[in-house]
Amino acid sequence: MSVADVAVSPIHTGSGFCFGHERSSSSSSSSHYSVKSVLVFLSVSGSTMPMLILESDSIAEVKLRIQTCNGFRVRRQRLVFSGRELARNASRVRDYGVTGGSVLHLVLKLYDPLLVTVITTCGKVFEFHVDRRRDVGYLKKRISKEGKGFPEVDDQEILFRGEKLDDRRIIGGICKDGNSVIHLLVKKSVKEEDSVKIEDPAASGKDLLLLEPVVLNPDVKLPKILEDMIDRTVDGLKKGNPPVRSSEGTGGTYLMQDSSGLNYVSVFKPMDEEPMAVNNPQKLPLSSDGQGLKRGTRVGEGATREVAAYLLDHPKTGPRSSSKEAMGFAGVPPTAMVRSFHKVYNFGSSDTKEAKVGSLQMFMKNNGSCEDIGPGAFPVEEVHKISVFDIRMANADRHAGNILTGKDEDGKTVLIPIDHGYCLPENFEDCTFEWLYWPQAKVPFSSETLNYINSLDAEQDIALLKLNGWDVPEAVSRTLRISTMLLKKGVERDMTPYQIGSIMCRETVNKDSAIEEILREAHNSVLPESSEATFLETVSIAMDRRLDQL
């Protein structure tokens, strides 16, 4: 996390700051720049670095300058100002209201696998790609499992530059010079008398809550796949395998391990650690009005939306409420609401440590995210399934980093959508779909996808959410009805994902999208006391007229 103080002032030449807008020798001899400059102080890992940008710079240009000056890659940056993510790269910083005295927050996504070279005392060399968030104890287990002839876990000593590493040492913190390769020496250790023992709560008679489902409607039975995920997560906690906090994202995210400690089972996101919530570990400022990072969302409601996204990702065979299939059309990972307690969670400065409520999502094995490869390799149907989901859910946070890539049983590439805490907003102001710029978005939908779209029913979806305990706000219900309406009307006219998605997304921060213009027209056409049904009918007429003009 870094904090940047922003001040607007004329900047003198020769200041020594990193500044990409140099004055030519033939320009005015004035001692300072005639353009309005913004002085930004980036504080990263305790050090503060000044940088100059122009008030007219785009977000993309600012991120590129941060990369050029400080080495933080563009795709690893997330900028936040005044409780809002600066997500539209083409928009200018001034469009977001950045002025003198403003404060920017730079969130760095640090996930990069480390190449660990392990050398035995007898000269054998092995290489492992290891998540930098793992600890030395995990590496020992990998060595015993994958390295033939290596000592058992309890018999290993791992040394780095002559220093013996403790099992709890985090891999990413071993090497401080930023290298992505670590060379380690492993040898058989001398048995020590003292050992660390993990107390079994059951054996000590303590009734300690580790993790349990939150049941809001006792008449709704938890699907078996969710029961199994919760059971495996609890087994890992009982074995003493702690949650591993992820460096990804702007909120608190914890990777939950299985009983072996070798695999992740699920991902836990507590409500009180969401961006701008009271216990947010990234130290983002608290929301002053309850608004989330995306317009139309509320702080602390991300977990509810994560669960809603899974519920509304209906399988091809029919609605989630009647289908026995675990995975839906878009492939949203199974997700449930749970209550969990562990000392590693972020409790801030509070002396009272209570169980946290949040979403628990199945961890999906993957080969990285769509940030890591070009979109040309993605199958058309995989992009289309996500586009259908995002349009229908009015997703306000779809970027390449929250679409994972993987392989199915036949070796074909599959895309896995995650991070749906900003779906179903109360308005369309912040809808963003990165796939709009991918070539697959301009390909017409297949007949199979069209059949799926035609089977969608917004009223049934709202009823399903209420059945599962969400008292859906009227503004959210309206969003779902209108987005489903647009999707259906669009495919009736043979529109592509690109054409439909473009109607929902703003071109710039301050220019309303087509769907917002349609809604404004409908608002101006009905009386204030008109019913919701009357308003939606007016929206339908205005939408037909707008689509027929395209």
> Of the ranges 81-85, 199-203, 230-234, 289-293, which is most confident?
230-234
Q: CA angle at residue 237 from 236 to 240, to 5 degrees?
A: 95
Mean pLDDT for the chain? Answer: 82
pLDDT of residue 101: 58
Average pLDDT over residues 64-84: 74
Q: Per-residue pLDDT for 332 more than 90?
A: yes
C-alpha gyration radius of the chain: 26
pLDDT of residue 145: 73
Residue 487: both structure tokens together:
């999707």
Average pLDDT over residues 88-96: 85
Q: Which CATH class is domain 2-24+31-108?
A: alpha beta
From residue 101, give the alpha-carbon distance in Å to each of 2, 43, 98, 174, 286.
Answer: 16, 16, 9, 38, 18
What number of CA atoms fall less than 13 Å from residue 82's CA on the CB side?
Answer: 12
Average pLDDT over residues 341-363: 87
* Domain 113-188 of CATH type 3.10.20.90: yes
Least confident range from 323-327, 442-446, 454-458: namely 323-327
pLDDT tier at 458, thresholds 50, 70, 90: very high
pTM listed for this prediction: 0.74
* Nearest one of 256, 250, 220 to 238, comparing CA atoms: 256
Least confident range from 128-142, 292-306, 409-423: namely 128-142
**Residue 237 near residue 338, CB atoms below 8 Å:** no
Alpha-carbon distance of 452 to 329, in angstroms, equals: 8
Greater pLDDT, 226 or 94: 226
The residue ranges of every structural domain in the chain are 2-24+31-108, 113-188, 211-362, 375-549
Neighbours of 218 (CB within 10 A): 6
> Of the ranges 59-73, 360-374, 387-401, which is most confident?
387-401
Return the amino acid letter for 395. N
pLDDT of residue 109: 63
- Of the chain, the percentage scoring pLDDT greater than 70 comes to 76
Q: CA angle at residue 92 from 429 to 432, to 5 degrees?
A: 30
Q: What would the DSSP string read from start to end of 173-226?
A: GT--S--SEEEEEEEEPPP-S-------TTTTT-----EEE--S-TTSPPPHHH
Greater pLDDT, 48 or 514: 514
Alpha-carbon distance of 158 to 164, in angstroms, equals: 6
Least confident range from 197-201, 212-216, 337-341, 460-464: namely 197-201
Greater pLDDT, 34 or 277: 277
Q: How many residues does the chain have?
A: 550
pLDDT tens digits for range 21-69:
443 334 443 344 445 777 766 655 445 567 677 878 888 888 888 777 6
pLDDT tier at 339, thresholds 50, 70, 90: very high
Q: Per-residue pLDDT for 304 more than 50?
A: yes
pLDDT of residue 174: 73
Helix (H) or strand (E) holding 265: strand 264-270
Neighbours of 1 (CB within 10 A): 16
pLDDT of residue 157: 78
Examine domains 2-24+31-108 and 113-188 and report if their fold is the same. Answer: yes
